[in-house]
Structures are given as structure tokens and as C-alpha cells.
């Protein structure tokens, strides 16, 4: 854990940006159904708005890595927001969200993730890391859509 801690300390503040791409009505609709959010059914000519938790809840935007590239906890690099967390098991420990703008169909979205803090702690069963990751979602003009501060525990 000490080596992971030192490696991660060097990553604090480095931003990893990723183009998510234009959001589709289909993906927003599927998320709404899966999360029991209000339906996006209705006027197909009007732009649909994504459920508020859509951007912060989707762990990966691609097809996902092959099983051989998954970590011991089942997470791939896209799930760790580009932050090098190989060799540890992650557990989510909560989110704080700020919603800045409605996210509508066809918006080109970028994700910007950075490690805000990491602490090395001693738990009952050994050392663990407490991490805070800041994710900002913006449109192609840089307008803030959603800001998400996530906490993770790594063992």
C-alpha cells in the first residue's frame, strides 16, 4: 500500500480528459428505464434531457476491456477515470454532485478527472487508501454540466 500511496500522491491534480461524445436519446432512455427515472417517451422531435444522475452514474462509455485486462475488483482503466489504480481493489464511498446545466440529447460531452486527495490509513485488517476523485463534465465549449466529487477506498 505504501508504494501505491507514493505513486498516487504524484498524480494529485493531474487532469485526465476524455471525449465521451454526443449523447444519444437511446442511451438516456435506457438509463432512465434502468434507474426508474421519469420516462423520456414523448415528442420525438423535441430534444430529450438526460436524467440528472446520467453522467455521473455511467462507469464506462465504451464497450469495455476484455476480461484479461480487468483488475482483481473487476474494474478497467475507464472505470478509474484514467487514474492509475492498478493493483488495488476499489470500493465506492459516496459522491457529492453539482448540477450546472441540463444535459440534452446530442450534447458533445467531455469528462475531466483528477485525483484530488489520497490518504494512507491503518484499518483493522491492514493499510488502506482513502481517495477523492474530482470529475467535471463539460460540453464542447467548456460549459460545466455536472461536477462530481467521488470518494473511494482502496485495499
Identify which of 151, 4, 2, 154 has the alpha carbon closest to the alpha carbon of residue 89. 154
- Write out the three cell numbers for 10: 504524484
pLDDT for the residue 45? 54
Residue-level pLDDT, tens digit, the chain, 155 residues: 888 899 889 989 999 898 988 988 888 888 888 888 776 665 565 567 888 888 888 766 666 667 776 766 666 655 555 666 777 788 889 999 999 998 898 999 999 999 999 999 998 889 999 999 999 999 999 999 999 999 999 88
CATH of 2-154, one of 3.30.2320.30, 3.40.50.2300, 3.10.129.10, 1.10.3720.10: 3.10.129.10
Q: How far apart are CA 14 and CA 8, in angstroms?
A: 10
User: Is 55 in contact with 146 (CB distance < 8 Å)?
Assistant: yes
pLDDT for the residue 66? 74
User: Is 149 in contact with 134 (CB distance < 8 Å)?
Assistant: yes
pLDDT for the residue 61? 61
User: CB atoms < 10 A from the CB of 71, how many?
Assistant: 17
Q: What is the DSSP letter of 63?
A: S
Amino acid at each position: 500500500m505504501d508504494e501505491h500511496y507514493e505513486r498516487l500522491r504524484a498524480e494529485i491534480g493531474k487532469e485526465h480528459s476524455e471525449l465521451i461524445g454526443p449523447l444519444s436519446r437511446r442511451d438516456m432512455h435506457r438509463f432512465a428505464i434502468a434507474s426508474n427515472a421519469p420516462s423520456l417517451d414523448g415528442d420525438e422531435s423535441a430534444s430529450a434531457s438526460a436524467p440528472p444522475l446520467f453522467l455521473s452514474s455511467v462507469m464506462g462509455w465504451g464497450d469495455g476491456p476484455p476480461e484479461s485486462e480487468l483488475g482483481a475488483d473487476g474494474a478497467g482503466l475507464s472505470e478509474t477515470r484514467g487514474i492509475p489504480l492498478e493493483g488495488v481493489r476499489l470500493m465506492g464511498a459516496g459522491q457529492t454532485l453539482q448540477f450546472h446545466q441540463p444535459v440534452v440529447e446530442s450534447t458533445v460531452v467531455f469528462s475531466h478527472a483528477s485525483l484530488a486527495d489520497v490518504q494512507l490509513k491503518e484499518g483493522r485488517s491492514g493499510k488502506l487508501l482513502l481517495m477523492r476523485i474530482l470529475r467535471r463534465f463539460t460540453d464542447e465549449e467548456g460549459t460545466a454540466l455536472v461536477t462530481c466529487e467521488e470518494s473511494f477506498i482502496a485495499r
